[in-house]
Amino acid sequence: ADDPAVLFIATRGDQTRPPSVQVFKPSLDPDVPAASLGQVGIGHLERPTGLAVDDEGDVYVTDELQRMLWRFPSDGGDPVAAAGLATLTLPAGVDVTGSGEAQLIVVADPGAGSAKLFRGGSLTPTVIGEALLVRPRGACFIDGPDGTVQIAICDGATHRIHVFDLDGGDVV
């Protein structure tokens, strides 16, 4: 994550290649990934749809077929489920900010018509936008006008961007 020139691409795969997250670095051949995440065993991806990298370099990938959010540790260790079946319906866009107990992860969940906010490693989310969102596809953290962290959610059905505070209140 310290190297701004690293590019992560989530691919759905095809008949010749399984779904994966490919890692590209400009210092190497630009046509060949430097690494791939999630191809074999734990963390095998079926349909990756969203990707984010935290301050520690861990990579977070949503998988809509598995209904999971995977965390791939930057040290190359085994991936772990950061959220799963009981909380996500059809995960899409993901973003992460902060670290440790202050870490926040937001996942757009078009299958549920909401977004889910996970705090400090908790697997129990706060539901965001349940009565306002129809088919949220993208989610990101933004700085509010007063310096607070807010959540922007892109709704593909209504063609709107909604902004929420961390308690789920609609700001805009």
Distance CA 43, CA 94 (A): 17
Q: What is the mean pLDDT of the chain?
A: 83
Q: Provide the token pair at 155.
A: 């709704």
Task: Give 34-81 pLDDT, tens digit per residue.
Answer: 556 555 444 577 888 899 999 888 889 998 888 999 998 888 777 888
pLDDT of residue 148: 93
Q: Provide the token pair at 172.
A: 């805009």
Between 170 and 16, where is the model more confident? 170
pLDDT of residue 41: 45
pLDDT of residue 31: 60
Task: Give 72-118 pLDDT, tens digit per residue.
Answer: 888 877 788 888 668 999 999 999 999 888 999 999 999 999 999 99
Arithmetic mean of pLDDT, 118-141: 92
Distance CA 106, CA 136 (A): 12
Arithmetic mean of pLDDT, 2-22: 65
pLDDT of residue 115: 96
Tokens 């209140």, located at residue: 169
User: What pTM value is reported for the model?
Assistant: 0.81
pLDDT of residue 118: 94
pLDDT of residue 40: 42
